[in-house]
Every structure is written in C-alpha cells, then in structure tokens.
Structure 1
Amino acid sequence: MRYILNAGKAVTPRGILPGASIILSGEKIAEVRSRPTTAQGDAQVISLDKYTVLPGLIDLHIHGVNGHDTMDASFEALNGMSNYLARQGVTSFLAATVTAGMDKILGAVENIANCRQQGLHGARLLGAYIEGPYLNPENSGAHCKDCLRELDSLEIEAILAKAGGNVRVFALAPEKENAIPVIQGLTGRGIKVALGHSSATYGETNRAIETGASIAVHTFNGMGGLHHREPGIVGAVLNSGKIMAELIADGVHVAFPVIEILLKCKDKEDIILITDCMRAGGLGDGEYELGELKVRVKDGIARTKEGSLAGSTLRLIDGVKNLVQKVNVPLADAVHMASLNPARALGQSGRLGSIAEGKQADLIAIDDEFNVVFTMVGGKIVCLEQKEF
C-alpha cells in the first residue's frame, strides 16, 4: 500500500513545515513537500491536517511496560512491549536487561535475538541494551547488589554469543578493573559503551570516554555527584563533547532546573531522551518486580523497599512534552532528542530518526495535548486511534 500523509504541520530536519505532505514508497519516505498533495495513482491519502506529524520516537533504554519485562525472556513479553509502545508513539526500541543471575541475562538476550529474527507486531526491536551486572555497588540503584560482578571477558563473550550480534549498547562502571580493554573490545565490534551506576572519578571517566565510551546512562541517576574538588563522572559527562547524555525527563529522576543546567552544558544534539521504564508503565500503582528486586509504585513513582528509584513509568512522548512545557525547549529540538539523537547514538541516523527522503517511514501524529493518534512503522500503519482519517 502506498500512502500520502497530509499533515497540519510536520517536524523535519528543515524545521517545522506547516501544511506539509509526506509521500511514501513502500517502507520508506520518498518525498517531503511543504504543501498538501492530492491523490496520485493508487496512493491512499491520509488526512492528518488537524495534527502534528513527528518522526517515530526511539526509546534507547527501556526495561519493560504494560506488565511485560525484557527479563521475562519470552516472545509474548517483547511483543507486548512492542504493541504498547507503538500506541504511545515509539516506533523503535532497545530492550534493556537488568542485573540478575547470568543464566537469566543469557536467556533474555537469546530471546531478543530470536524475537528480532521472528519480528514483532508493533514497534521495531533494534536489539539489546545490557545494563548490569558490571556496575558499582555504591551506585547500584535498583540493581541487585548480590548479583553485581567484576568485568569478566569470558562472561561478556557468552552474552555476546547468545545475543547473536544483537547487542547495541553495553553499560558498565568505568572504574571497574579492566574497564579500558573491555571498552576497546566492545567498541571494536561496533557496540556502543555506556557509562553509569558509577562512582568513577573525573579522570577515570575521561579515560573511558577517550577510549570510546559514547553514552552516559540516565545522566545524574546512579552516578556519584558533582563536587567542586572532584567533578566525578557527572562533571566529565557535562564537560565532554564526546559523550551523549541519556535523560529521564519526568521531573522525578531529574528536577527541571537541573535539566536546564544540562542543556546549557551539552549540545542539544547530545541529549537522548529515554524512559528507563519498568513493567508498571501503563498500569496503576502497586507491587511489581524489576529483575531480582521487589518494587512498589506509588503515585506513578517506582521505588525499591530501600527507597531507591527503580526505573520509571514514563511515556517517551511525555518526556518530550515535559521538555517543551516545563523547560521551554523548542518542539523540534525536544522531538529530535527522542528520535534523531538516539538514532545517531546507535549509528543509525542514516535510516531512522527524522522525516527525510530515503529514511524509514516511521511516523506518528499527535494532537495539541501530545496524545498519539497515529503510528506507522516502516510504512505500515500499526496504530490508528481516530477513525476519521
């Protein structure tokens, strides 16, 4: 099926285009015009003139949602996540593991590989994000301290083998022994290294960045704090132009004034909006599990029994909304922090992340309240909330 999407306005790399039309050819965008387009041949015209069309969002770092979790290690879990995320405007995601026994981590990554081969029904699964067990117990957050481990090259090889080439991001604490050779080995295979759950010094962090680490795990959270005599990992992330910063923009994990500081320190192209969502996302308050830990959600905030934040229940589109409405970030910039920037972080901006000719037709439409009313993944409509199109 060929489509022509006529938008009220469209967020593109060229800016926000009022009255734009997006012409699709199969799974790709063939042309973006700055005016509406009438029917052409057998193409179906979809009128989105009441809405704003955005590139599909990419959640680089999500553990679970709507009762499902990556560590469930089943097709039903990842497909359930995929379907729910598509309804919320996410067209691609990385399934994040959490610290657990090695057998559970291996099972989870093997399932990710199988699900990528089989294909999911909603948002596109891009691969695995390995978070744990190679983290610092002092900043473990919602990771089981008893399951944390030192870096072990044989274990890492086992994870990569089970994943079958599907590990995209590998998180670790840079102060761990042998961190530098591990970073060299991972980046040499094209895997992005993320730094987090860490008490690393400024120097230790900079050495990891210079070695090739390129992502900061949920910046500020699970990190030693900034101090005027030892800026630590936070200071290194803020001061380096070689590392991108993940951000959970819910106002709980990071206060909005601190987000303003982050935006003054980092280029807008180097901020990646994530959710770090866990299985309670989309559901109500109550008792849940995150990996090996029991988690209680109250007022939408997930915490361990010790009081540590345990992921979020954030929708990525609400992170975009918060930046626009709470931090006065221009809409196009906020959108690209949740689409083009994560694509760039993964080295996939040539095919994903923006509304441009030749890219995948991953498109969503929102109303003025940031409600998602339409989602398309690779030229296929997977969510149509309104029937009048």
Structure 2
Amino acid sequence: MSATLSDARIVTPDGVHDGWLTIEDGRITHIGRGQAPRDGHDLGGRTVVPGFVDIHSHGGAGGSFPDGDPETAAEVAAFHLGRGSTTLVASLVTAAPGTLARAASVLADLCEQGLLAGVHFEGPYIARSRCGAHEPTLLRAPDVAEFRALVKAGRGHVRMLTIAPELPDALDVIREAAAEGIVAALGHSDATYEQTLDGIEAGATVATHLYNALPPLGHRAPGPVAALLQDERVTVELINDGVHVHPAMLRLAMDAAGADRTALITDAMAAAGMGDGRYPLGPMTVDVKDGVARLAEGGAIAGSTLTMDAAFRRTVREVGRSLVDAARMASLTPARVLGLDGETGSITVGRYADLVVLDEDLGVAGVMKRGAWVRRP
C-alpha cells in the first residue's frame, strides 16, 4: 500500500519544510519540498510531526495499566494513540510481587499484539521518604532474584525500572537491568549527588520525572538533580502539564540537557481524558480536581491528566521551544531511550510512518501509525 501526503509543513530532525512525503508498506520512502509529484492526501498546509513516544504512562480514559486487565489496557492504549502517542510504554506502580508479575504478563500480551511498546516498573525499589503516590507498606529493598522473576513474567517486554540508587543492593539491581538491556531509571529517591553518580556508573541512563520525588537543587548539597542534568549519559524525563514543574525550571533542565537528552512524558493516570472525580492508581485512591490528580489521603501529586499532544503544545507555546526541539523531546529522544530510534521517532526516510497532523493551534487533526490512519485528518 502506498500513499502521498501533500501540502504539508513537515517537521524533520533538521528543520521545518513545506512539501510532501510518500509512504509505502508502512514506511516513509520519500520526503520532498514544494509541489508533490503526484496527487495525494492534501493536508492544507497543516503541520506534520513524528508520532509521540511516551515512555511513562499509567493510564487514561478511565482505565489504569496497574489494574492488569487486558481490555482496560487496550482501551488506554487506544485513547493515547488517538492523542498522537503512536508508541506507548505501560507503567506500573509499587505492588506485591505477585500483582506486579501478573500485570506484567498481561501487558506483555498487548506488547506482542503491537498495542504497547513495553512495560515499566516504577517501584517497588524506591525511597519511602520520596514515595509520592506509591503505597509505602509495599516498598521493599532491591532484590536481584525478585527483579529477575518480574523480568521473566514480562517475557522480554520489560523496558524500564525506576529505582532509588541509595537503597541497599540497588546498584546490583541496576547492573542486572543494564545487563538485560532494560533501562535503569533513577527516581523517587533521596540520594546524594555522589550516590546518584554511583547509580549512573552502575548503568542507569534515565531520570524518572526530573525534579518530582527528588530533593531540590542545593548550592552546597546539589543532590540528584544536578548529577542527572550534568551527566551526558542520562536522559531526563519532564512532565510539562503546568502543575508538576514551573516553566522556568523546565527551561533550566532543557537548557542543561538539551533536546537530545530531554524526554517529554505524561505520567498520565486513569483520569487523563476524563473529568474530575475519584480514580484508582494501583492500590491508592486519587482525587482529581480542576484536572490535578492528588492522593485522597495526604494530598501528594499522583500522576497527571496530561496527554502528549498537550505536552508538545505547552513546550512550544509556554516554554518557547521550537517545533524541531519539541518534536525531538516528544518523539526522537524517548525513542532512542527505548532503542527504537532506528524504526520510529522522526520523519526520516526508512522509518515507520508514525505521524501526527497538527492544526494551526497545534491540536491533533490526524494520527497515522505504520502508514495507516488511526484518525484521518
């Protein structure tokens, strides 16, 4: 099957070009400027960016990945796909070993169906003092044997583990993850600057939602944020929803890490795409008011109601980044984190035709996955 998209404003890794592109068998075969050589789908000058790659999402559309229900998980994936996330990792939260293993197995089925790009264990090896919306009674010390069992349950689809490097045996688990090709992400941590560097040396390459659930920057005790921003081996996740991080601190992180080391994420929970109300997040109960999710007990921020299209839009409109940089942070950089940048994450010849068509307000007008319209503009 082949198709041509014409009269498009195409955002590629090296700039924004007015022109056209062709697609054959689900992949981009040509990118041209000016008038298309043949008739195609006329986009009327609308902007085309690569499909978004969300490496940290817990749910949406009223459903939650930690529930471990296949139908619910498929509905969540479909919701985020409609908002432009053509590649989506399902994030779990701290739970008992059996609960995590069962959920990972269910989600692995959806990975094999092509609905998800992997599984992310956020916890249970995180600091009690920075546990946020995780059930503190279920936190436990890092354990290589338990981690291996969870990886086995995921049948090759476990992509990421969030862990606090200061915990006993954490460095051993980080090394195990790295050896298995699983991304070790540092987060929900009270680590010092030095302990964070130890985690990076052990093989950690991602910062889970930078700033959030971490000690603040200090001029005498710089803490993990400084270590994670400074180290070229680390990609930092950022939640750009207007709640989790002030725009000035987003700019600080983006300036320090650059678009090549910044990955926009949603950290979305069940309320994404829904109204205010009460929702589950694993074993925890979350109240959403005015679009902000907080634990019913204690009031800690509990994920977000963000979608990647809104994160992209805010990065351009509120933070002042270019379309090229925003596309890199929303697509190419997170694809690289997953090792998928050779297949998706950019509008490049040879890559899958995972595309989002945006209107003049940067709202989603169309979504294509592997050359097929999910939402036709």
TM, length-normalised to structure 2: 0.97
**SS in structure 1 opposite 2:46?**
strand
Shift of 1:226: 1.5
Shift of 1:336: 1.3
Equivalent position of 2:303 in the other structure: 311
Letter in 1 for 2:70: F
Equivalent position of 1:336 in the other structure: 328
Equivalent position of 1:275 in the other structure: 266
Q: How does 1:236-255 map to 2 (within 5 A)?
A: 236-255=227-246
Q: Is the 8 A contact 1:139 1:198 kept in 2?
A: yes
- In 1, Cα distance between the equivalents of 2:374 and 2:315? 27
Letter in 2 for 1:2: S
Equivalent position of 2:372 in the other structure: 380
- Alpha-carbon displacement from aligned partner over 1:206-252 (angstroms, at most 9, x marks no partner): 01112210000000001112122211111211222211100001121
Q: How does 1:216-235 map to 2 (within 5 A)?
A: 216-235=207-226
**SS in structure 2 opposite 1:347?**
coil
Shift of 1:167: 0.6
Letter in 2 for 1:5: L
Shift of 1:75: 2.1
Shift of 1:379: 1.0
- In 2, Cα distance between the equivalents of 1:107 and 1:340? 31
Shift of 1:35: 2.4
- Alpha-carbon displacement from aligned partner over 1:65-104 (angstroms, at most 9, x marks no partner): 0011111212212210121112111101100001112221
- In 1, Cα distance between the equivalents of 2:70 and 2:285? 23
- Alpha-carbon displacement from aligned partner over 1:319-363 (angstroms, at most 9, x marks no partner): 111111111111110121000010111121111100001101101
Equivalent position of 2:313 in the other structure: 321
Q: 1:284 aligns with which of 275, 287, 298?
A: 275
Equivalent position of 1:146 in the other structure: 137
- In 1, Cα distance between the equivalents of 2:38 and 2:234? 45
- In 2, Cα distance between the equivalents of 1:79 and 1:39? 37
Let me know the Cα RMSD of the aligned residues: 1.2
* Runs of 4+ that moved beyond 3 A: none
Q: Is the 8 A contact 1:7 1:52 kept in 2?
A: no
Q: Which moved more, 1:218-227 or 1:45-54?
A: 45-54
Letter in 2 for 1:70: F
Q: Is the 8 A contact 2:144 2:172 kept in 1?
A: no
- Alpha-carbon displacement from aligned partner over 1:263-307 (angstroms, at most 9, x marks no partner): 222122100000000000000001111111111000000001211
Equivalent position of 1:28 in the other structure: 27
Q: Is the 8 A contact 2:193 2:227 kept in 1?
A: yes
Cα gap change, 1:101/1:7 in structure 2, threshold over 3 Å: closer, same or farther?
Answer: farther
Equivalent position of 2:60 in the other structure: 65
Equivalent position of 2:354 in the other structure: 362
- In 1, Cα distance between the equivalents of 2:252 and 2:272? 28
Equivalent position of 2:251 in the other structure: 260
- In 2, Cα distance between the equivalents of 1:9 and 1:295? 40
Q: How many residues align?
A: 376
Q: 2:291 aligns with which of 276, 296, 300?
A: 300
Q: 1:171 aligns with which of 156, 159, 162?
A: 162
Shift of 1:312: 0.2
In structure 1, stretches of 5+ residues that fail to align are: none
TM, length-normalised to structure 1: 0.94
Equivalent position of 1:9 in the other structure: 9
Q: Is the 8 A contact 2:14 2:324 kept in 1?
A: no
**SS in structure 1 opposite 2:344?**
coil
Q: Is the 8 A contact 2:144 2:176 kept in 1?
A: no
- In 2, Cα distance between the equivalents of 1:229 and 1:330? 34
Equivalent position of 1:203 in the other structure: 194
Q: Is the 8 A contact 1:238 1:266 kept in 2?
A: yes
In structure 2, stretches of 5+ residues that fail to align are: none
- In 2, Cα distance between the equivalents of 1:188 and 1:153? 12
- In 1, Cα distance between the equivalents of 2:170 and 2:83? 37
Identity value in percent: 37
Q: Is the 8 A contact 2:67 2:282 kept in 1?
A: no
Shift of 1:119: 3.8
